[in-house]
Structure 1
Amino acid sequence: MKYFGFLLASALPLALAYEYRVGVGKDETTGRKGMGFDPSVIHPQAGDSIVFEFRSGVHSAVQSSFDNPCVSNGGFNSGVFTVSDDLAVDAPGLPISRVLVNGTESLWFFDEAGGLCYRGAVLAVNPTAAQSEVVFKENAALPPKPATTTSPAASSTSGATATGTPTANSDNVSSGNNSNSSPGTVNTAWAAVMGALFGGLAVMA
């Protein structure tokens, strides 16, 4: 029984990770193809992941800073994705790029390839009262400040990091309302949990 409890406790951190699906080139208000990120604000925890799903047009997800929203800070860069205009807004098989969130500090992103950052094509991750998503969008409308080079390991003013690898036509992409956080990672994690638990019970038997 103690062995069973140990397996369950050790598996819980894995099971509680979430996957936040964010549409790039999707209008947050209408849910249709358009400008920006949908949603434009998310609040992941350490260990959660962000999955950028690229809609019709030419788009990218690039990490920036609160003070200079439309200039890369040398952190995460999805690369450029070109998606046919013929595809539905939530068509299956859309190209994705995944980011692992390593902490709860604020992270900032913009759609560099779309060229519409100054109109609000930005994403705020874990904004705070001192650095809010509203002011972040206001900063995006201002002329860019001189760029400063930082390494990906220190890719935000708060010291948070993000890593990811662009993936085209992943089976993890699903149709429907995928702009909110979803327990897709949780399902996978629980499968691993159950496998470990049943394996442990088999050993005990």
Structure 2
Amino acid sequence: MKCTTFIPIIALSYFPLVFGAEYLVGVGKDETTGKKGLGFDPSVIQPAVGDTIVWEFRSGQHSVVESTFDNPCVGKIGGINTGVQTVSDSLAVDAPGLPKYTVTVNSTDPQWFFDEAGGLCYRGAVLAVNPPTTGQTAAVFVENAKKSPTSTPTSSSSSSPPVNQSTTDAASATKSVPAVATIANAAGHAGHTNGLLLGMLSLLLAMF
């Protein structure tokens, strides 16, 4: 009886440390209309440590590039850069198999991004991750972007081929940068945690 009531408590104490929420962000999708368009949908997210951000690319050419609050339309040295993703205009806005790029959050510090390949940062095509509610807010970040000079994309990242359902998996990627950890690392932690849990269960069973 003690064993059956104690085991669920152990399991519940471990699993929240392993599994986080997923934030799906459409790139090249209008967050107001839900259709193909400008920027990100949603354009502001508040993930916690351990959560994942999944950028899903819509038709046209798009790239998610990390920037800074003061210079929204200039790539941050050493920051996240998904590379250019090219998606056929014939695909629906929420078609299955769209290319995705996933990162896992390991800090709740504010991070700032723009769609460089889309070339419309100056129109507010930006994404704020964990922005403060005062001072350097998401709204001010958008205004900073709109004050930026009109420019063409300067990314040196290679472009992917046009995407359809058969090539989507090849276009998906996971990036490892200082601000994030890869999904593989999260899986490794999960395996380690599960190993500890199994060891504790074996010990408890031996006692009974």
Decide which of 42, 47, 50 is 1:47's aligned counterpart. 50
| Residue segments in structure 2 that go unaligned for 5+ positions in a row | 150-166, 173-182
Partner secondary structure for residue 140 of structure 1: helix
Of 66, 69, 92 in structure 1, the residue corresponding to residue 69 of structure 2 is 66
1:104 aligned residue (93, 105, 108): 108
Instruction: Tell me the TM-score normalized by structure 1.
Output: 0.71
* Paired amino acid for 2:145: A
Measure, in 2, the Cα distance between the counterparts of 1:35 and 1:76. Answer: 20
1:44 is paired with a residue whose SS is coil
2:146 aligned with 1:141, yes or no?
yes
The count of corresponding residues between Structure 1 and Structure 2 is: 164
After TM superposition, list the pairs within 5 Å mapping 1:150-189 onto structure 2.
169-170=168-169
1:5 is aligned to 9
C-alpha displacement of 1:71: 0.4
Match of 2:28 among 25, 40, 43: 25
Identity %: 58
Say yes or no: does 1:94 pair with 2:98: yes
Counterpart amino acid of residue 168 in structure 2: N
The one-letter amino acid of 2:25's match is V
CA shift, 1:103, in A, is 1.1
- Structure 1 residues 148-187: Cα deviation after superposition (integer angstroms, max 9, x where no partner): xxxxxxxxxxxxxxxxxxxx7249x9xxxxxxxxxxx9xx
What CA distance in whole angstroms lies between the structure 2 residues aligned with 1:87 and 1:124?
A: 27
Equivalent position SS for 2:18 = helix
Q: Tell me which structure has the larger Cα radius of gyration.
A: 2
Moved more, 134-143 or 82-91: 134-143
Comparing both chains, which one has the higher relative contact order based on Cα–Cα distances under 8 Å and sequence gaps of 6 or more?
1
Q: Provide the alpha-carbon RMSD of the alignment.
A: 2.9
User: Which residue identity lines up with residue 135 of structure 2 in the other structure?
Assistant: A
Deviation by residue 1:100-139 (Cα, 9 ceiling, x = unmatched): 1111110100000000000010000111111111100000
Per-residue CA deviation, residues 39-97 of structure 1 (Å, 9 max, x unaligned), is 00000011111100000000000000000000001200000000000000000100011
1:107-146 equivalences under 5 Å are: 107-128=111-132, 129-143=134-148
1:200 deviates by: 6.9
